[in-house]
A and B are shown apart, each in its own frame.
Chain A
Amino acid sequence: MTDAQGPKQPLAASAGAAPMVEPVPGAPPRNQWWSVWDQFKTHRGALLGLGFFVFALLFVYIGPLVWMIDPQFIDIRARNSGPTLAHPMGTDQLGRDTLARMMAGGQTSIAVGLTAMALALVLGTLIGLVAGYFRRLDGILMRMTDLFLAMPLLPLLLVIIMLFRDHLRITFGPEGGIFILIVFVIGVTSWMQTARVVRGDLLALKEREFVLAARSIGTPPHLMILRHILPNVMSPIMVSATLGIANAIITESALSFLGLGFPSDFPTWGRLLFDATDWLQQNPERVIWPGLAISLTVLSVNYIGDGLRDAMDPRIRGR
């Protein structure tokens, strides 16, 4: 009904114009994204999530302009301090200010989380779509997925670092180079699940009537995928996105623990959480801050994803 299963007339139009807009005779042409936003606004969780996410961005990017302590500065006399006026979130075992480190760490963690997730998502979705849609490429692409799944991660990382770290460091500087390396490594090693899930969904989707109908009027493959198939696999992709951010933030901390990531004095949320775990009994608040930051960020992205998916689903929108 709302999809391309109706009579021929609206279908022909849908091939050219926005694919899933209900025909509203007489209404002025309106950008599709406005109605998406209208729908998004009604989703309370999504608004809250967006609000928190904006707050987190402000905290990590604007925060250091207000709270000017250097996150790497060691004040050895103030070590292992609980929350005080001078250090609202306390200090670590060397007397570095936790608030400043949370801000500096958030910049890296959010940037790594978002970009690595985006890379994995794009790779996974692309491979999943192509493999599911074009039967001839399915075999080879899925065997490649098997290969990546079976690869022992750690030796692979060691090899990548050995081959590329020095070149990247020279080209992009120590921090830029490592950022690219980490995002690449995480992205390239975590797309497989998305690809398999998208492909699985697509195999079923491909046999549905509206796809058949769209194909029978000669819709070219790229429009087929973009207009008819992609919107229908959005929800697993959104779930993968949420899980992907958490995964990227945690993996980054594991990498820097192995000496494959940022220098050890360079804070990130994952690393702060890892370092604080040993201090669970002595300074429990040290664990709470990064743990909370990671969880809430992931949660907010999850709700934003939920809202977006609902907003983009024409069957729900306008209801």
Chain B
Amino acid sequence: MVNFNTPTPFPYTAFVGSESPVIQAAQFAGCLGTRAPECTEANFGPIGTGPFVVDEFRPNDVIAFSANENFRFPDRPYFGTVTFKGGGDAAAAARAVLETGEFDYAWNLQIDPTILAEMEAQGNGTVVSAFGTSVERLHLNQTNPDAALGDIRSTAEAGPHPFLTDPVVGKAMSMAIDRALLVEIGYGAGGQPTCNVLPAPELYASTANDACLVQDIAGANALLDKAGYLDTDGDGIREAGGVPISVLYQTSTNAVRQDTQALVKQWWSEIGIDTELRNIDASVFFGGDPASPDTFQKFYADIEMYTNNFPGVDPQAYMANWIYDEWPRPDTQWQGANIQRFCNPAYDALVDEMAQTADIAERGRLAREMNDMLVQSYSIIPLVHRGNPSAHANSLEGIAMSDWDTELWNIMDWRRAE
């Protein structure tokens, strides 16, 4: 029996995805409250209704499963045992499936597409990917991150950013980027160029911004010239109000992200914008420790890049990220999802409206309008709609990728090709 605590206009969460797992009440009965840490056995071997049961669990190393004798379909699953192996890096995982054939399936293969393609060309396996809502994007700090401001930098008290609050600068930066090339270099089959923060499902995907798909460096230069951002001292860098347009561009450490950074830096140098790159270990960047200056929420930089998405299929909570209350700031311990410090009362009103709207078509319209408002403020520059590349051995059949659920959702149908 599953009960909802409050009226929920969009109830399609329980039982329909990996976001709301159901655990057995009897097994976890003794594990509530303060006794939770004692239930290692229950945590490591939860009892459920799936096709496989856990035999052995070694955290961060191995999970061994065997077929569930009491599974609801008597002839499934086809495999007797399944073994997960952790550790190592993505290239090694791809190699074990595509080159040596030691394993049948590998997921999350974020490696250079050229390498992945050459491994695939050896004919042992196939690369597949599914697209959910993940978008790799740039956030342009709307507040002033100048280190001279000390503790108030990147907060409302620091005042607006000297040039990134002007949509013209953001627009020129966006126009200078060749998204198709970013995909080709860094993502291959695991990415598509996008101009939207909200790229899927189809109902919510706007088409109003698709002009950004084509790189236009000359246009970007003309735009900046027209807006009066000129290179007055002849050093190749434009000035905004006498200050050179120079940005600190940070992201987490990851080979693909560092390649993207290098490319974007070069394109921006072609439109007279100077860029300093910084990469930060993911455990710090996404860690949210209020004492660290390097978290993505603190945003002590001009521009930062990472991927975000929303789970399930409804974007209401996701779009509510960009209301004013969501600004990360000292009195919320720097928690908050409005990373670029976007502020527009009209946007906040749309968020409220969506929360009270049940009609699906109307919800779609509101989501698209919010997406366009965000993207056209050029405080956020979407780059790549990311899929999740996986690889499976050619002898493995029955795989049906889905990014709306775990990719193993139909593992009961997986079988060995005859």
Contacts and interface: CB of A to CB of B under 8 A. Distances in A.
A and B touch in the complex (CB under 8 A): yes
Nearest to A74: B266
B253 interface: yes
Interface in B357-416: none
A94 B279 contact: no
Contacts of B265: 72, 265
A111 to B, nearest CB: 20
A79 B292 CA distance: 37
A170 B149 CA distance: 13
A260 B278 CA distance: 9
B23 interface: no
A93 B111 CA distance: 12
A174 interface: yes
B115 A74 contact: no
B292 A162 contact: yes
A282 B263 CA distance: 22
Nearest to B258: A264
Contacts of A162: 291-294
B22 interface: no
Given A162-B294, A259-B280, A260-B281, A265 B118 contact: no
B273 to A, nearest CB: 15
A166 interface: yes
A258 B91 CA distance: 18
A162 B114 CA distance: 36
A274 to B, nearest CB: 10
A169 B293 CA distance: 14
B115 A264 contact: no
Interface residues of A, number: 27
B253 A259 contact: yes
Given A93-B185, A265-B258, A257 B253 contact: yes
Interface string A241-268: 0000000000000000111100111000
A169 B276 CA distance: 12
A76 B181 contact: yes
B255 interface: yes
A264 B114 contact: no
A73 B266 contact: yes
Nearest to A75: B266
A281 interface: yes
Contact of A278 (B91, B266, B278): B91
Residue in B112, B147, B258 whose Cβ sees the most chain A Cβ within 10 Å: B258
B202 to A, nearest CB: 32
Interface string B264-281: 011000000000111111
Contacts of B279: 259, 263-264
A93 B112 contact: yes
A80 interface: yes
A259 B281 contact: yes
Nearest to B181: A76
A260 to B, nearest CB: 7
Contacts of A73: 266
B261 A264 contact: yes
A94 B276 contact: no
Nearest to A93: B112
Interface in B95-136: 111-112, 114-115, 118
A282 B281 contact: no
Contact of B115 (A158, A265, A278): A278
A80 B278 contact: no
B277 A265 contact: yes
A264 B262 contact: yes
Contacts of B118: 281-282
B69 interface: no
Contact of B114 (A93, A169, A257, A275): A93
Contacts of A263: 276-279
B259 A94 contact: yes
Contacts of B253: 257-259, 264
A169 B181 CA distance: 33
A59 interface: no
Nearest to A260: B281
B114 A80 contact: yes
A210 interface: no
A215 B284 CA distance: 55
Interface string B231-259: 00000000000000000000011010011
Given A93-B112, A263-B279, A264-B279, A166 B261 contact: no
B147 A170 contact: yes
A289 interface: no
Nearest to B261: A264
Contacts of B293: 162, 166
A279 interface: yes
A56 B112 CA distance: 32
Interface in A44-99: 72-74, 76, 79-80, 93-94, 96
Contacts of B115: 278-279, 282
Contacts of B280: 259
Interface in B266-313: 266, 276-281, 284, 291-294
A265 B277 CA distance: 7
A259 B258 CA distance: 10
Interface string A89-120: 00001101000000000000000000000000
Given A166-B147, A257-B253, A74 B278 contact: no
B292 A264 contact: no
A270 to B, nearest CB: 15
A158 B258 CA distance: 20
Interface in A273-293: 275, 278-279, 281-282
A94 B91 contact: no
Given A94-B262, A265-B277, A275-B255, 12 more contacts: A73-B266, A74-B266, A96-B262, A166-B147, A169-B147, A174-B276, A259-B284, A260-B281, A278-B91, A281-B118, A282-B114, A282-B115
Give the top 8 A-B pairs by smallest Cβ distance, nearest first. Answer: A264-B258, A259-B279, A259-B253, A263-B277, A259-B280, A74-B266, A265-B262, A259-B281
12 contacts: A74-B266, A93-B259, A158-B281, A170-B147, A174-B276, A259-B278, A259-B279, A259-B284, A264-B253, A264-B258, A264-B262, A279-B112
Interface of B: 91, 111-112, 114-115, 118, 147, 181, 185, 252-253, 255, 258-259, 261-263, 265-266, 276-281, 284, 291-294
